[in-house]
Amino acid sequence: MPYNLRLVILGRDGILNVYREDHVKAPEEWQPVPGALEAVARLNHAGWHVVVATNQAGIGRGMIDMASLNSVHQRMMQRLAAVGGRLDAVFFCPHTPEDNCECRKPRPGLMKQIGSRYGIELRTVPMVCDTLRDLLAAQASEQLVHVSLSITSLDGALTRALEPRTSAPAARLRAITALREAGVPVGVMVAPVIPGLTDHELPAILEAASQAGAVAAGFTLLRLPESVGPLFLDWLERHRPLARQRVEGLIRSTRGGALDDARFGCRMRGDAAYADGIAASFKLFARKWELDRPRPPLDVTRFRPPRTADGQAYLF
């Protein structure tokens, strides 16, 4: 196949056909998502080759055999042909999650098979999925993406008050595990570290993140610019009144007596003895949990700065 082949990879369940928790086990259970088949036909007519990459754990669980899967895909092809569309091929993984194989999405095995079959660099191939994790896995297979998740505290009660309507600490750790299992390099940002309130959790957060699968870590110290300062102090008064005076005093001790210090080199790390202690603690435990290693390099050869319509020149 030529390098300039126009190829797109689609998921199957939830993309082409309606998703079923109990798996699509027979042709009559395969029902197209409204408009999906017509979209494939439009891609074909525009010169695109379309392939499917799909997990079929029902095979590994004994819920469906190869003959039934082939019958399902035959129905899919027939329905596509009826609207003028076609698929070049269907790549599938027959394994269950417990098999820990390399071809089950979001791991990149199926995508690598497609790249090898077509002799094409995957970084040039768009992929349509029903989860962000699958997209990130495809990008990570070509060294195009890293992911970092922030964890402020492991205390669920504190985070519910401090960060309402955001993911709980346990959910963020599960996300780190899921991304790492998908082959995505993932790090943790302990951010913001709040002196006197969350800084004692640094060792525990780094340990939990490492065990979840993180490969790198960073931290930022709380800063309270402009109107954010009064808002945070009001939050302390309402939620941690007994700790307010101490927390505010420690924050100011890291910011030259103020609530913020925008100087380069101090803005994200703070200054003076207490800030230095936090930085030393982070360095020690990041090394202990092997989170101080450099991340895998990113391939930036495909990056192109966006062009502006007004002809504005680039600074760099």
Please tell me whether residues 111 and 206 are part of one structural domain: no
Instruction: Give dist(CA 239, CA 161) in Å, integer.
Output: 7
Among the three residues 115, 140, 165, which one is the final residue of a domain in this structure? 140
Please tell me whether residues 159 and 274 are part of one structural domain: yes
The CATH number assigned to the domain holding 172 equals 3.30.750
- pLDDT for 316 equals 56
Total number of domains constituting the chain: 2
Q: Is the dihedral of CA 50, 53, 58, 60 positive or negative?
A: positive
- pLDDT for 37 equals 96
Q: Assign 315 a pLDDT band (cuts: 50, 70, 90).
A: low
Q: Assign 153 a pLDDT band (cuts: 50, 70, 90).
A: very high
Q: What is the mean pLDDT of residues 209-215?
A: 95
Place of tokens 């790492």: 180
Chain segment 40-60, per-residue pLDDT in tens: 999 999 999 999 999 998 999
Q: Which domain holds residue 59?
A: 7-140
CA atoms within 13 A on the CB side of 310: 2
Q: Structure pTM?
A: 0.72
Answer whether residue 181 is part of any domain: yes
